[in-house]
């Protein structure tokens, strides 16, 4: 599978998710996929498990109206893609896969999100999705960063713009 074919296959997958098209999303995946959102361990294993996760928690459900997903970096390997993304949204709807059990707060969120996408036979075989859960919880008001080595939206902004200053801690 060529580099461009992997990129195109993943784009079809993400576009179907964003469009709320469960059948097309699943058609982009291998026969035995798995999906793990690492900070929350939400996801699924096998066709039925991934389909149930997408149906109940993601496709057509996650994306608040103002969501913006920007790819910052992309590395394409022999069997996978690694993307570093900047995602922003206002927490106006439940986001089960990212904030299970947390009611919408109305707060603006900006986070860096890394997706590792595997391929088998030209289709998505797995997704491992990582983000800084502490930064997310700070931004929606569920974690007080005072005295803790955590921060909020500035972490994602720093990834998007490396010229921003680093945080300094007192010794």
Q: What integer pLDDT is reported at residue 65 of this predicted model?
A: 85
- CATH architecture of the domain 3-160 equals Roll (3.10)
Using the predicted structure, report yes or no on whether residue 124 has a pLDDT greater than 60.
Answer: yes
User: From the CB of residue 50, how many other CB atoms can be counted at a distance below 10 Å?
Assistant: 24
Smallest CA-to-CA distance from 108 within 162, 154, 58, 171 is with 154
Q: How many residues does the chain have?
A: 171
Q: pLDDT tens, 100-121?
A: 999 999 999 999 999 999 999 9
Q: Tell how far CA 141 is from the center of its chain.
A: 20
Q: Where are the domains of the chain?
A: 3-160
Instruction: Quote the CA–CA distance of 160 and 16 in Å, as a whole number.
Output: 25
Strand 108-120 versus strand 123-131 pairing type? antiparallel
Q: pLDDT tens, 17-73?
A: 888 899 999 999 999 999 999 999 999 999 999 999 999 988 877 678 898 989 999
**Rounded mean pLDDT, 137-156:** 93
Q: Under the phi-then-psi rule, with left for phi > 0, alpha for psi from -120 to 50, and beta for the rest, what region is 36?
A: beta
Whole-prediction pTM? 0.90
């Amino acid at each position: 599978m060529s580099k461009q074919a992997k990129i195109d296959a993943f784009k079809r997958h993400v576009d179907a998710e964003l469009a709320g098209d469960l059948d097309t999303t699943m058609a982009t995946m291998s026969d035995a996929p798995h999906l793990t959102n690492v900070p929350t361990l939400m996801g699924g294993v096998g066709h039925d498990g991934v389909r149930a996760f997408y149906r109940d928690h993601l496709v057509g459900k996650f994306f608040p109206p103002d969501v913006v997903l920007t790819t910052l970096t992309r590395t394409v390997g022999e069997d996978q893609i690694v993307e570093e993304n900047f995602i922003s949204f206002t927490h106006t709807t439940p986001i089960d896969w990212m904030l299970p059990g947390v009611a919408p707060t109305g707060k603006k969120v900006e986070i860096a999100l890394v997706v590792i996408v595997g391929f088998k036979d030209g289709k998505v075989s797995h997704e491992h999705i990582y983000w800084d859960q502490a930064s997310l919880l700070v931004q929606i008001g569920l974690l007080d960063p005072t005295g803790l080595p955590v921060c909020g939206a500035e972490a994602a902004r720093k990834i998007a713009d490396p010229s921003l200053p680093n945080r300094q801690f007192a010794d």
